[in-house]
Amino acid sequence: MWGAWRCALRCPGNGLGRQGEGRRHVSELIASNAGDNGSVVMQRVLDGGSPAFGYNAATGAYEDLLAAGIIDPAKVIRCALENAASVAKTFLTSSVIVTEIPQEEGAAAAPADGGYGGY
């Protein structure tokens, strides 16, 4: 089971793979902010063998996060998914979407010289 899950997280072509990329990036940032190498921490977590195995940034230990009481609240995930779906629905059902057209910048102005005396 964990092998299939890990394979799905590493496959960038599907939605689960993209979600896994986001989770990996966030986990690497948490480890980096804790003063550790994010890539090394993430690789060790992926090789941990259990979906509950992870890195506790507060203690710097690798452990079973569920047993340690570190869980992701389901309400937060549910609300985030509902809000994302609402934004996507609004965007897809809009007849017109107004965006700002980027304007081309001209050539850079010449630097001001110092005038008389070079000041």
Long-range Cβ contacts of 45-54 (<8 Å, 24+ apart): 46/6, 46/9, 49/2, 50/2, 51/2, 51/5, 54/27
Whether 25 shows a pLDDT value over 80: the answer reads no
CA dihedral angle for residue 9, residue 74, residue 58, residue 69, rounded to 10 degrees:
-110
pLDDT, position 100: 84
pLDDT, position 86: 92
What structural domains does the chain harbor?
Answer: 2-93 (1.10.560.10)
Looking at 7-21, 30-44, 68-82, 86-100, which range is the least confident one?
7-21
**Cα(96)–Cα(94) distance, integer angstroms:** 6
Confidence of residue 31 (pLDDT cuts 50, 70, 90): confident
Backbone phi and psi for residue 9, each to the nearest 5 degrees, phi listed first: -70, -30
How many CA atoms lie within 13 Å of 27's alpha carbon, on the beta-carbon side? 20
Whether 12 shows a pLDDT value over 60: the answer reads no
- In sequence order, the 6+-apart residues with CB closer than 8 A to the CB of 27 are 38, 41, 42, 45, 54, 55
Give the amino acid at 13. G
Bigger pLDDT: 86 or 18? 86
Task: Supply angle C-alpha 19, 46, 73, rounded to 5.
Answer: 50
pLDDT, position 1: 46
pLDDT, position 7: 56
pLDDT, position 114: 63
pLDDT, position 6: 54
